[in-house]
């Protein structure tokens, strides 16, 4: 039985994760965390997640939420990550973080913490997306430079970062496979009299609107043919299931920094 705490418990991802966790016979929810000042602090986490009364009150104190947990799942804003990570290290709690747009300083703290606790860090916990990343690497290596690469992602109107963390990871994967430079060979959107497409350039485009959970497509444009690798998320359950899979993975490990490819055994 894995004892689980969830940060951002009242958010869209937090409620989805909790809803699935309360139904999982191998998981015991022992803590739920929200930011100070949230109107949801003190509410029953099970009721908020639509799973019925659980007896787990949402707290605004990481120490309270984590004191009984084996693993913390965190999908909150990156500004909250350092404190959550510090508390996880204090209680020797495994840490699954799906927060995107993490600053370099925070990524360094994750690497340092992973020497003391197990950490899974991924911009996208979806099993399908991580398979897409693997297929993207294979395709980028198999297709020669005559195939132009472009990435397009679509998300709901409320998403704050752009391009998405998943699009950036996809970009990193294909750029590494083609030995391209991220600062020199990537363009984010195009406008005006841009001239002919430079050889080796990778275009990345972000669309925002409606309630789109997350669509990502990698294009390979060749002469006479086009290859498209696409993943479309229709529900946040895809990310929540992946996060719970990651929680079960690190519950059996002492320390180390892992990604979802390692969790799924496809690295």
Q: Which domains does the chain have, with CATH numbers?
A: 2-125+236-264 (3.40.50.720), 127-233 (3.30.360.10)
Distances (CA, A) of 208 to 20, 192, 212: 28, 21, 8
Identified catalytic residue from 84, 155, 216, 241: 155
Q: What is the pLDDT of residue 60?
A: 98
Give, rounded to a whole angstrom, the gap between the first and last alpha carbons of the chain: 27
The answer to whether residues 151 and 218 touch, using CB atoms and an 8 Å cutoff, is yes
Q: Which of 62, 66, 80, 84 is nearest to 29 (CA)?
A: 66
Active site residue 155: yes
* Farthest-apart Cα atoms in the chain, separation: 62
Active site residue 158: no
Q: What is the pLDDT of residue 101?
A: 86
Q: What is the pTM of this model?
A: 0.86
Q: Tens digit of pLDDT per residue, the chain (267 long)?
A: 999 999 999 999 999 999 999 999 999 999 999 999 999 999 999 999 999 999 999 999 999 999 999 999 999 999 999 999 999 999 999 999 999 889 999 999 999 999 999 999 998 999 999 999 999 999 999 999 999 999 999 999 999 999 999 999 999 999 999 999 999 999 999 999 999 999 999 999 999 999 999 999 999 999 999 999 999 999 999 999 999 999 999 999 989 999 999 999 998
DSSP class of residue 197?
Answer: P
Identified catalytic residue from 68, 77, 90, 159: 159
Count of residues for the chain?
267
What's the rounded Cα separation, in Å, for the pair 248 and 161? 29
The answer to whether residues 19 and 50 touch, using CB atoms and an 8 Å cutoff, is yes
């Amino acid at each position: 039985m894995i004892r689980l705490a969830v940060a951002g418990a009242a958010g869209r991802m937090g409620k989805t994760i909790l809803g699935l966790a309360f139904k999982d016979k191998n998981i015991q929810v022992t803590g739920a965390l929200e930011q100070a000042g949230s109107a949801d602090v003190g509410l029953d986490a099970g009721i908020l997640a639509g799973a019925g009364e659980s007896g787990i009150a949402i707290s605004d104190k990481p120490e309270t939420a984590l004191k009984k947990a084996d693993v913390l799942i965190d999908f909150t804003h990156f500004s909250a990550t350092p404190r959550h990570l510090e508390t996880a290290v204090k209680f020797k709690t495994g840490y699954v973080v799906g927060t995107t747009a993490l600053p370099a300083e925070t990524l360094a703290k994750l690497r340092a913490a992973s020497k003391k606790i197990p950490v899974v860090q991924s911009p996208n916990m979806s099993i399908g997306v991580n398979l897409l990343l693997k297929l993207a690497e294979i395709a980028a290596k198999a297709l020669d430079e005559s195939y132009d690469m472009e990435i397009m992602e679509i998300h709901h109107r409320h998403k704050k970062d752009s391009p998405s963390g998943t699009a950036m990871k996809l970009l990193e994967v294909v750029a590494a496979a083609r030995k391209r430079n991220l600062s020199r060979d990537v363009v984010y959107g195009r406008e005006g009299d841009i001239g002919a497409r430079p050889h080796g350039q990778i275009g990345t485009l972000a669309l925002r609107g409606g309630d789109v959970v997350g669509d990502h497509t990698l294009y390979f444009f060749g002469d006479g043919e086009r290859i498209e690798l696409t993943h479309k998320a229709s529900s946040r359950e895809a990310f929540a299931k992946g996060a719970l899979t990651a929680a079960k993975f690190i519950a059996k490990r002492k320390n180390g920094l892992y990604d979802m490819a390692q969790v799924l055994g496809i690295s």
